[in-house]
Structure 1
């Protein structure tokens, strides 16, 4: 195996813009580790879901399921969604700050998962969280999911990841014509999930600094 600090090529960069139409934002409902949201045709989020491949159809329902990373990105970066995390329908939908803290309670590794997700979305990749069958955390597409194949399978590495696991993952990705991309973060203790750490503070801290390593098979030169 050989490590390459850069991906094979960069995706087409796409500008990420916030919704400034003034329309009423859809409100999603936190369901376990997903967010359920009903979308009407013509709203900005409906168009983003179609064009940028956010979420997946909820079977038997006229609704869409978003991962926690997708929902927070749509809230904080795109400003096209609100998420209600309260038990009472009378309460206002949460801010991205409150939702971020809730996600940290649900998933201890969420802060860095979101940092990785956000990093790839902002540089133009379509990032899909449904990568478990490939033994990965995310899949990266340089275009619509129904038009191109995923180019990279992303694994968020930590101190418990063994090299033999990397080798096995790389072989698995090769069988489905994907490169393996390892993403790591500085080995620093994360703040407690209940701590009042704002999302901007986290994203600007060393905790969210992304390091990438592309893993490919090394073919020895024939003698």
Structure 2
């Protein structure tokens, strides 16, 4: 990925991004989550966390989750050792609820090892280990393994990854915070496991997808999730090591840029 289509949103944006790279922001977020002993609570296909003002700033800057206003389900969770009721009681004014997608939550839990995830039971809150979280997420999302492998692949390279649903893609990837730069890539995940549901299987699929990407000034990035050998046991997240990611940047061919200039007898490129 060369990120050739960088479109900063203002003339100072590139300098701001260089002065505070995403890798450093992620490190500060990781440290803050570890120190606060923040616990995420499963809510359907998302994970809810409660953040103080400093953690809220870091989550926003690192582009993890989205702030929410609606009350989470009845339960309890802790922040810095203090128990908070989640049954509609008044919460502290400096606390903000965030909703993390499953890939985001598992990245913080498994890859960065800085977020505990729990579930609500009749006996109270129950912390989950990585295998239990993995099984829960795979049950909620059939292609979670492939989606997480692609998400973590991009995040590890310090790309900001967001949903690409509005562009007909799995993800969109930003060089830095979306307030500073437009997304450069529309990401589609390809895998041997999505037989019968695979996209981009015909020329018309490719043509329409490339036209859409071109109309929103994005490069199509296909991430192919491939097994290293024979099929492995997918009941544990350790199976992620048995897969690798191949990147394919797909760009439309523009005839006007490649035809010969009749006045000079030279190719325009």
The two structures have a TM-score, normalised by structure 2, of 0.68
Pairwise CA distance, 1:79? 2.8
More strand per residue: 2
Q: Which residue number corresponds to residue 155 of structure 1?
A: 188
Which of these residues, 221, 224, 227, is aligned with residue 181 of structure 1?
221
* Native 8 Å contact 2:221 2:248 kept in 1: yes
> Is the partner of 2:187 in helix, strand or coil?
strand
Q: Which residue number corresponds to residue 3 of structure 1?
A: none
Q: Which residue number corresponds to residue 124 of structure 1?
A: 158
Pairwise CA distance, 1:92? 2.7
2:94 maps to 1:57: no
Cα separation, 2, equivalents of 1:190 and 1:32 = 29
The two structures have a TM-score, normalised by structure 1, of 0.81
More helix per residue: 2
Cα separation, 2, equivalents of 1:38 and 1:183 = 33
Structure 1 unaligned spans of 5+: 1-5
Which of these residues, 14, 20, 23, is aligned with residue 14 of structure 1?
23
2:37 maps to 1:29: no
Which of these residues, 186, 202, 213, is aligned with residue 239 of structure 2?
202
Pairwise CA distance, 1:80? 2.9
Pairwise CA distance, 1:104? 0.9
Q: Which residue number corresponds to residue 135 of structure 1?
A: 168
The verdict on how the C-alpha distance between 1:144 and 1:189 changes in structure 2, with shifts beyond 3 A counting, is same
Cα separation, 1, equivalents of 2:223 and 2:34 = 37
2:108 maps to 1:74: yes
The verdict on how the C-alpha distance between 1:77 and 1:217 changes in structure 2, with shifts beyond 3 A counting, is same
What are the Cα deviations for residues 149-180 of structure 1, in whole angstroms up to 9, with x where unaligned? Answer: 10101011244221332321221111111111
Pairwise CA distance, 1:14? 2.6
Pairwise CA distance, 1:213? 0.7
> Is the partner of 2:31 in helix, strand or coil?
coil
How many matched pairs? 209
Structure 2 unaligned spans of 5+: 7-20, 72-95, 261-269
